[in-house]
């Protein structure tokens, strides 16, 4: 079990680290998107007329001769108190185009295109490692399965892991201290680790799972499988002269239903077809599967309520997967708990590698280049994300991905070229990351208007992260000076 645990960990450690650290920040992609558009007007509620106007205004921005797949409105919600609209279309030349706008929540007027390169980068790194669809999602799904296996094999490999749940030997050498903290964080966060890895694996492999369900339960009929898992699908109907009466649907919901649940998302699929679907997704914080959909035909006829209380148990269990994975239930207390536990999972991955490197050194089988590459990867990811944050704040969203990749690759290359100096390079990379984040917070505050409300809170969070990185880097420098002193004296630190 110990051998299988090590092999799995070493094979997938780098990818697991990337998915884990970006997963911690994916919890706040909605807030980051609002920060990137700090001038967007905030609101708690949008009128039915404003929803209709926003969709019609976005529709008016379509390309000439394009085929419209869907129109969406997002929010406002607790985590993103702004109104955004998206148009998904295929242009006349065959190009797929997805355009987001910020809309005025009072009138539905479009105020300009939404610019969310940083939140998009973080989310795509987490859910697909920025690889082409669907292969990136499948790889991340397999990583979820691998991480779930690591958790189980780690428990089986250490029969006293629960008995020693509070055993911390910080007075021993560094490898024993790392091992104890690695095992303790693994145990303390065990429920979280099991839930997160299982749901991540399922969500990443959902496309394959739907295909398997269609093959086994519906004789290969994927459409029937989609209906059972996602609700009613579009059917052939008469051609509509304009957009579906979304405003009328919203008014009908608010007049008939007295629960007061907010609208999270409106999806208009196949908008010219009266047999198409308009799904109005509602939020219900009283249940774990906190979303349900009111389904209308695009003609305006109500079809059914899909999901939520009263839905079949299997459907509700599937609906729980996404809230359980992304911590979107229970408000900000749950989000912050997930953030801390995701960082703990990241540290468990990193410390597992450090333990393995230390063990190899003690056995006289050191792997300095592999160790340098690992630290270059982790420091480079931090540096790359910090550079991307600065680029987003400076309004050069098109450079977010290139800057992130360039900084990441440069850090790995620098660490590999001087593998025995990685302990010097590491704090330098962290200090550079802190300076980039400080610059991003300053620019967002001064030039982008992130001075009040949620944008201001995100700017403060960026500032706090920068100070923590700087503090950690200074601590590393002091520790390295102590290490150099021990080496010069002919002794080794305890």
> What local confidence, expressed as pLDDT, does residue 486 receive?
38
**What integer is the mean pLDDT of 472-491?**
59
The pLDDT tens digits of the residues spanning 362-408 come to 888 888 888 898 999 999 999 999 999 999 999 999 999 999 999 99
The pLDDT value given to residue 121:
97
Q: What SS3 state is found at 33? A: helix
pLDDT per residue as tens digits for the range 105-135: 999 999 999 999 999 999 999 999 999 988 9
Give dist(CA 444, CA 166) in Å, integer.
Answer: 43
Q: Nearest to residue 210, comparing CAs of 191, 194, 225?
A: 225
Among 250, 296, 243, 295, smallest CA distance to 273 is for 243
Higher-pLDDT residue of 317, 245: 245
Q: What residues contact 464, with CB distance under 8 A and at least 6 apart?
A: none
In 75-180 the beta strands, taken as DSSP E runs, fall at 83-90, 96-103, 110-113
| Both tokens assigned to 301 | 């006829």
Instruction: For residue range 246-303, list pLDDT tens digits in order.
Output: 999 999 999 887 667 889 999 999 999 999 999 999 988 777 887 889 999 999 999 9
> Cβ distance 24 to 342 under 8 Å?
yes
Residue range 26-33: mean pLDDT, rounded: 95
User: In this predicted model, what pLDDT tens digit does every residue of 149-167 receive, in sequence order?
Assistant: 878 887 777 676 666 666 6
pLDDT of 22 reads 96
Please report the pLDDT score of residue 484 as a whole number: 44
pLDDT at residue number 207: 79
Residue written as token pair 């008995």: 163
**Amino acid 172: pLDDT:** 61
Please tell me the distance from the alpha carbon of residue 188 to that of residue 168, in angstroms, as a whole number.
Answer: 13
- 3-state SS, one letter per residue, for 229-285: HHCCCCCCCCECCCCCCHHHHHHHHHHHCCCCCCEEEEEEECCCECCCEEEEEEECC
DSSP 307: S
Q: What share of the chain is helix, strand, coil (3-state, %, to 5)?
A: 60, 10, 30
CB-based contact 281:271 (threshold 8 Å)? no
Answer yes or no: is pLDDT of 319 > 50.
yes
DSSP state of 160: T
Residue 489 has pLDDT above 50, yes or no: no
Which of the two residues, 434 and 242, has the higher pLDDT score? 434
Distance in angstroms (rounded) separating the CA atoms of residues 411 and 353? 18
Tokens standing for residue 435: 């300076």
Residue 242 vs residue 154, higher pLDDT? 242
For residues 72 and 85, the answer to whether their CB atoms sit within 8 Å is: yes
Element (H, E) at 461: helix 453-488
For the chain, what is the largest distance between any 2 Cα atoms, rounded to a whole number of angstroms? 87
- b or e along 7-37 (b: 16 or more beta carbons within 10 Å of the residue's beta carbon)? ebbeebbbbbbbbbbbbbbbbbbbbbbbbbb
Contact indicator for 50, 107 with CB cutoff of 8 Å: yes
pLDDT digits (tens, 9 = 90+) for 177-215: 667 777 677 777 888 888 999 999 999 988 787 777 767
Structure-token match 């809309």, residue found: 103
> Measured between alpha carbons, how far is 268 from 459 in angstroms, rounded to an integer?
34
Query: 444 with 452: CB under 8 angstroms?
Result: no
CB of 459 closer than 8 Å to CB of 431: no
Q: Which of the pair, 195 or 476, is modelled with greater confidence?
A: 195
Q: Decide if pLDDT at 243 tops 90.
A: yes
Determine the Cα angle at 294 with ends 31 and 212, to 5°. Answer: 85
Least confident of 50-64, 75-89, 315-329: 315-329
Q: How many degrees, rounded to 5, is the angle at CA 212 between CA 207 and CA 216?
A: 155
Answer whether residue 305 shows pLDDT above 50.
Answer: yes
Q: What is the pLDDT of residues 419-467, one digit of tens each?
A: 888 888 999 999 999 999 999 999 998 887 778 889 999 999 999 999 9
Please report which confidence band the pLDDT of residue 485 belongs to, taking 50, 70 and 90 as the band edges. very low
Q: Which two tokens stand for residue 221?
A: 């009929």
The residue to which tokens 């092999």 are assigned: 7
- Of 482 and 36, the one with more pLDDT: 36
Whether 20 contacts 443, CB under 8 Å: no
pLDDT one-digit tens code per residue, 67-110: 999 999 998 998 999 999 999 999 988 899 999 999 999 999 99
CB 183 within 8 A of CB 161: yes
Residue 323 pLDDT > 80:
yes
Q: Is the pLDDT of residue 494 over 50?
A: no
Q: What is the pTM of this model?
A: 0.87
pLDDT at 167: 66
β-bridge pairing 83-90 and 110-113: unpaired
Which residues lie closer than 8 Å to 380 by C-beta, 6 or more apart? 407, 408, 409, 410, 411, 412, 415, 429
Output the six-digit token pair for 362. 């003690």
């Amino acid at each position: 079990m110990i051998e299988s645990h090590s092999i799995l960990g070493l094979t997938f450690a780098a990818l697991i680290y990337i998915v884990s650290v970006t997963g911690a920040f994916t919890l706040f992609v909605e807030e980051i998107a609002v920060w990137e558009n700090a001038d967007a007007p905030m609101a708690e509620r949008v009128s039915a007329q404003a929803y209709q106007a926003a969709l019609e205004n976005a529709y008016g921005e379509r390309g000439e001769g394009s085929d419209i797949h869907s129109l969406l409105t997002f929010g406002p919600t607790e985590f993103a108190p702004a109104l955004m609209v998206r148009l998904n279309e295929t242009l006349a030349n065959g190009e797929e185009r997805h355009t987001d706008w910020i809309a005025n929540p009072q009138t539905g007027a479009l105020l300009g295109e939404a610019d969310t390169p940083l939140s998009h980068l973080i989310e795509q790194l987490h859910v697909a490692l920025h690889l082409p669809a669907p292969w990136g999602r499948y790889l991340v799904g397999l990583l979820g399965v691998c991480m779930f296996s690591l958790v189980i094999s780690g428990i089986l490999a250490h029969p006293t892991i629960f008995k020693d749940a509070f055993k911390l030997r910080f007075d021993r050498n560094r490898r024993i201290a790392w091992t104890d903290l690695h095992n303790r964080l693994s145990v303390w966060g065990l429920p979280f680790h099991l839930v997160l890895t299982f749901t991540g694996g399922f969500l990443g492999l959902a496309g394959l799972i739907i295909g398997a369900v269609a093959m086994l339960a519906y004789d290969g009929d994927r459409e029937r499988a989609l209906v059972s898992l996602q609700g009613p699908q579009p059917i052939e109907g008469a051609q509509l002269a304009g957009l579906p009466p979304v405003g009328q649907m919203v008014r009908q919901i608010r007049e008939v239903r007295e629960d007061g649940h907010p609208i999270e998302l409106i999806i208009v699929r196949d908008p010219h077809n009266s047999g198409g679907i308009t799904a109005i997704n509602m939020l219900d914080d009283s249940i774990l599967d906190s979303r349900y959909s009111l389904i209308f035909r695009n003609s305006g006829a109500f079809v059914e309520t899909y999901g939520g209380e009263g839905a079949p148990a299997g459907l509700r269990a599937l609906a729980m997967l996404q809230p359980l994975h992304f911590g979107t239930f229970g408000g900000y207390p749950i989000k912050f708990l997930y953030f801390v536990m995701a960082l703990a999972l990241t540290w468990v991955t990193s410390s597992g590698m450090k333990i393995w490197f230390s063990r190899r050194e003690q056995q006289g089988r050191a792997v300095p280049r592999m160790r340098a590459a690992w630290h270059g990867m982790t420091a480079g990811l931090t540096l790359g994300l910090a550079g991307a944050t600065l680029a987003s704040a400076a309004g050069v969203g098109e450079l977010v991905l290139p800057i992130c990749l360039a900084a990441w690759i440069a850090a790995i290359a620098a660490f590999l070229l001087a593998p025995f100096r990685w302990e010097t390079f590491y704090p330098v990379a962290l200090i550079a990351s802190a300076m980039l984040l400080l610059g991003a917070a300053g620019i967002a505050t001064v030039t982008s208007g992130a001075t009040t409300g949620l944008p201001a809170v995100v700017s403060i969070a960026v500032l706090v992260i920068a100070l923590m990185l700087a503090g950690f880097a200074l601590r590393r420098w002091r520790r390295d000076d102590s290490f150099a002193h021990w080496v010069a004296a002919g002794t080794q630190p305890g």
